[in-house]
């Protein structure tokens, strides 16, 4: 009886042992299969690349950072196109649209290769079984290192130049050195800064005054206030109307004057003859010359006449008469 | 050299006889289940403790190096792949070779020395079928289960260290482990576990069944069973890696 119980107990323990082992194995297989999208319904998508950078079947496919599938097939179409087939979880596939693009990258800096699907900007319709996604090529690590190498070389050259400049400044060469070491220059800079400070203060005051001026313009009693007043506005409007009328009259007067001048210029009247005839001008000029000569001669005759009159004053015949005139003038 | 070749030939003949006998009636179910219990259940404690310690030690030893590179987050992936692919199967198989292989060699050797096997033949019982086939089948089937349990315990040990030293949750740890594993890791390791179990059973039984005379022969049989089994395990492991490299792009 004891042997039978012992055997039954052993069988039970053996059963538990075997079941535990199998359950753990099945859980492991399920979890791995689930990671590789083997148990859910999937759809097949494709993307073409020029270089897949060591991508292998089983690598993950990500959309917005979420694992949504795995790489299922890799086939070389020709020497420059490699077609990658992906099994995408059907539930997630509804969120991927035809404008989406696929890129091969690494999971972290040194991780496995993955395919990143990036949502398109222009939307589009949801992808369907067998669709081919657009693809783009990301910079590889080698290319990044190459670029970094160029950057490093440039940085080295810049550093060398900077070192030269620093040494020159320390040695007292060039204007920068003067600027740094010369006390007078420093004082000048300080003075300039003070002036700038004062200028800015003055500018601030001007701005404040301008601000006040603008505020006063907006004031009811100010100029703008007057402009806003309806009575004043009516007065200004009537003044403007009068000014407009006056301006019209002035225009008419100017037009009349213009026509008169035109008639003088182009007409056949006396004025036109006086203004435009050159022979008349010459004759007048000649006459004026003669007149001028005649006047000179008259002036000479006048001087001589004065001399004659002076001589008469001293003549005994007329001397009495002139004395009599002087006495009457003195009495007055 | 000649003796080694003769030994290999006899071992191959012994293994061939197993395949001839395994399909023939009568099936020794009770003996088979008893051997399964002895080899599976009774080895579990030893295998479990070893796996747990391996998980702890492996994580503790690897952690500082990964920390230097700022790659502690890769610990579950690294430990998972290492244990599932290689360390779990080979360590479990070596422990079983020590415990089960030597046990089989000593048991069958003493039976040979005390002429119990001869007595079974005289009584009409097929000693090869009763003693050898059941043991080889038991080791072949029990070792993969022991490997799975050992892997699980080792991963749990690794998780405990990670949880104590770092701040990783159970779910995250095992998500990371299974996220990094592929069928190319778990299938070859499981398949080779069957071969390891078969090798332990075959070599142990061969050494015990063909034991020399006297108590000295029993001790030699037990010792040879462990040594040869260990060597065969490493050769099989190497071949398994080569074959899985062909079928799975590792």
Any domain includes A307: yes
Name the more confident of B160 and A37.
B160
CB contact under 8 A, B146 and A56: no
User: Smallest Cβ distance to B182: which of A18, A25, A58?
Assistant: A58
Confidence of residue A70 (pLDDT cuts 50, 70, 90): confident
pLDDT at A22 > cutoff 80:
yes
Q: Evaluate whether residue A220 is within a structural domain.
A: no
Q: At which of A103, A119, A138 does a domain end?
A: A138
Give the three-state DSSP class for A97.
strand
Q: Looking at residue B54, what is its pLDDT?
A: 94
| Percentage of residues of chain A with pLDDT beyond 70 | 86
Backbone phi and psi for residue A56, each to the nearest 5 degrees, phi listed first: -125, 160
pLDDT of residue A1: 47
Q: What is the sign, positive or negative, of the torsion defined by CA atoms of B4, B9, B10, B14?
A: positive
Pairwise CB contact (< 8 Å): B40 & A10: no
Share of chain B above pLDDT 70, in %: 99
Give the pLDDT confidence score for residue B50 in this predicted structure.
94
How many structural domains is chain A composed of?
2
% of chain A with per-residue pLDDT over 90:
8
Q: Where does a domain end: A138, A166, A187?
A: A138
- pLDDT value for B82: 93
Q: Give the pLDDT score at B199.
A: 93
pLDDT score of A132 = 87
Q: Which of B155, B138, B46 is nearest to B92 (CA)?
A: B46
List the single residue in A with minimal CA-CA distance to B147: A21
Q: Do A28 and B34 touch (CB under 8 A)?
A: no
Dist. CA B54–CA B155, nearest whole Å: 9
Cα-Cα-Cα-Cα dihedral sign, residues A177, A183, A185, A189? positive
Does the CB of A13 have a partner CB in chain B at under 8 Å? yes
Distance CA B82, CA B64 (A): 17
Q: Which of A5-14, A50-59, A153-162, B237-246 has the lowest mean pLDDT?
A: A5-14
Q: What is the mean pLDDT of residues B19-38?
A: 86
- In sequence order, which ranges of chain A are alpha helices (DSSP H)? 2-35, 90-93, 141-170, 174-181, 183-218, 223-228, 230-266, 270-276, 278-313, 316-331
* Rounded Cα distance, B21 and B133, in Å: 7
Of B150, B147, B174, give the one whose Cα is nearest residue B80: B174
| Per-residue pLDDT at A261 | 78
The answer to whether residue A107 neighbours chain B at the CB level (below 8 Å) is: no
Tell me what pLDDT residue A223 has: 59
Is the preceding omega at residue A293 within 30 degrees of 0, hence cis?
no
Top pLDDT among A141 and A237 is at A237
- Mean pLDDT of all residues in A280-303: 84
Q: Using CA atoms, how far apart are residues B148 and B196, in angstroms rounded to an integer?
A: 14
Averaged pLDDT, A37-63: 84
Higher pLDDT, residue B237 or A92: B237
**Residue B129: how many other CB atoms lie within 10 Å:** 20
Rounded Cα distance, A256 and A330, in Å: 63
Contact B33 A20 (CB under 8 A): no
Q: Is the pLDDT of residue A139 over 80?
A: no
pTM (predicted TM-score): 0.61
- Look over chain B and give the mean of its residue pLDDT values, rounded to a whole number: 88
- Going by pLDDT thresholds of 50, 70 and 90, the confidence category of residue A271 is low
Whether pLDDT at A229 is above 70: no
Per DSSP, the three-state class of B221 is helix
- A and B: number of Cβ contacts within 8 A: 66
Residue A23 lies in a domain: no
At residue B17, φ and ψ (nearest 5 deg) are -65, -35
Distances (CA, A) of B197 to A321, B56, B94, B102, B135: 184, 25, 10, 13, 10
Q: Is A18 on the interface with B (CB under 8 A)?
A: yes
ipTM over 0.85: no
Summarize the confidence of residues A101-120 as an average pLDDT.
82
Instruction: Report the gap between the CA of B181 and the closest CA in chain A (Å).
Output: 6
Residues 6+ positions from B9 with CB-CB distance below 8 Å: none
So what's the pLDDT on residue A251? Answer: 87
Confirm whether A226 is domain-assigned. Answer: no
**Quick check: B172 pLDDT over 90?**
no
Q: In this predicted structure, what is the pLDDT of residue A218?
A: 66
- In chain B, where the domains are located: 51-247
Question: What integer is the mean pLDDT of A93-121?
Answer: 82
Is the CB of residue A42 less than 8 Å away from at least one CB of chain B? Answer: no
Say whether residue A20 is in contact with chain B using an 8 A CB cutoff.
yes
Structure tokens at A225: 């206030």
pLDDT at site B127 = 86
Domain enclosing residue A78, as ranges: 38-138
Instruction: For residue A255, count CB atoms less than 10 angstroms from its CB and return exposed for 0-12, middle for 13-18, buried for 19 or more.
Output: exposed
CA distance A111 to chain B (A): 10
Place of tokens 């332990």: B200
- For residue B237, what pLDDT band results from cuts at 50, 70 and 90? very high
Indicate if the pLDDT at residue A196 is higher than 60. yes
What pLDDT score does A228 carry? 61
């Amino acid at each position: 009886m004891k042997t039978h119980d012992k055997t039954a107990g052993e069988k039970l323990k053996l059963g538990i042992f075997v079941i535990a082992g199998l359950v753990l194995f099945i859980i492991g297989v399920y979890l791995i299969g689930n990671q590789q999208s083997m148990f859910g319904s999937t759809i097949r998508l494709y993307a073409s690349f020029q270089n897949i950078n060591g991508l292998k079947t089983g690598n993950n496919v990500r959309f917005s950072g979420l694992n949504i599938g795995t790489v299922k097939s890799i086939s070389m179409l020709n020497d420059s196109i490699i077609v990658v087939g992906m099994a995408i979880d059907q539930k997630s596939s509804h969120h991927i649209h035809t404008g989406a693009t696929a890129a091969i990258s690494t999971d972290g800096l040194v991780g496995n290769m993955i395919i990143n699907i990036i949502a398109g900007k222009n939307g589009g319709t949801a992808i369907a079984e067998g669709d081919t996604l657009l693809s783009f090529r990301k910079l590889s690590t080698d290319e990044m290192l190459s670029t970094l190498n160029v950057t490093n070389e440039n940085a080295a050259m810049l550093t060398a130049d900077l070192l030269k400049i620093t040494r020159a400044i320390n040695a007292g060469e060039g204007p920068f050195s003067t600027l740094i070491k010369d006390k007078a220059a420093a004082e000048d800079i300080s003075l300039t800064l003070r002036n700038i400070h004062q200028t800015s203060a003055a500018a601030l005051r001007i701005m404040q005054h301008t601000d006040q001026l603008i505020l006063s313009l907006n004031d009811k009693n100010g100029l703008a206030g007057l402009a806003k007043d309806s009575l004043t506005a009516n007065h200004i409007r009537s003044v403007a109307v009068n000014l407009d009328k006056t301006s019209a009259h002035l225009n008419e007067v100017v037009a009349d004057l213009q026509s008169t001048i035109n008639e003088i210029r182009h007409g056949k009247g006396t004025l036109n003859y006086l203004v435009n005839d050159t022979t008349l001008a010459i004759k007048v000029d000649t006459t004026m010359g003669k007149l001028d000569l005649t006047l000179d001669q008259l002036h000479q005759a006048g001087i001589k006449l004065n001399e004659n009159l002076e001589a008469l004053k001293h003549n005994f015949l007329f001397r009495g008469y002139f004395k009599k005139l002087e006495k009457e003038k003195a009495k007055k | 050299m000649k003796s080694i070749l003769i030994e290999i030939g006899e071992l191959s003949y012994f293994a061939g006889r197993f395949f001839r006998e395994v399909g023939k009636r009568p099936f020794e179910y009770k003996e088979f289940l008893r051997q399964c219990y002895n080899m599976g259940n009774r080895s579990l404690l030893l295998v479990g403790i070893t796996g747990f310690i391996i998980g702890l030690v492996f994580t503790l030893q690897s952690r500082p190096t990964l920390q230097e590179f700022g790659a502690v987050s890769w610990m579950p992936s690294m430990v998972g792949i290492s244990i599932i692919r290689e360390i779990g199967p080979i360590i479990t198989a070596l422990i079983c070779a020590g415990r089960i292989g030597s046990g089989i060699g000593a048991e069958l050797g003493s039976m040979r020395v005390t002429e119990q096997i001869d007595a079974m033949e005289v009584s009409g019982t097929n000693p090869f079928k009763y003693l050898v086939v059941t043991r080889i089948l038991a080791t072949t089937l029990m070792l993969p289960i022991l490997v799975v349990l050992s892997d699980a315990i080792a991963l749990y040990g690794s998780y405990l260290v990670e949880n104590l030293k770092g701040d990783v949750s159970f779910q995250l740890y095992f998500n990371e482990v299974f996220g990094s594993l592929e069928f190319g890791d778990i299938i070859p390791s499981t398949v080779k576990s069957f071969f390891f179990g078969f090798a332990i059973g075959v070599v142990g039984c061969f050494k015990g069944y063909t034991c020399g005379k006297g108590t000295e022969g029993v001790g030699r049989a037990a010792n040879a069973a462990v040594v040869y089994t260990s060597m065969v395990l490493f050769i099989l492991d190497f071949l398994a890696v080569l074959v899985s490299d062909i079928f799975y792009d590792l």
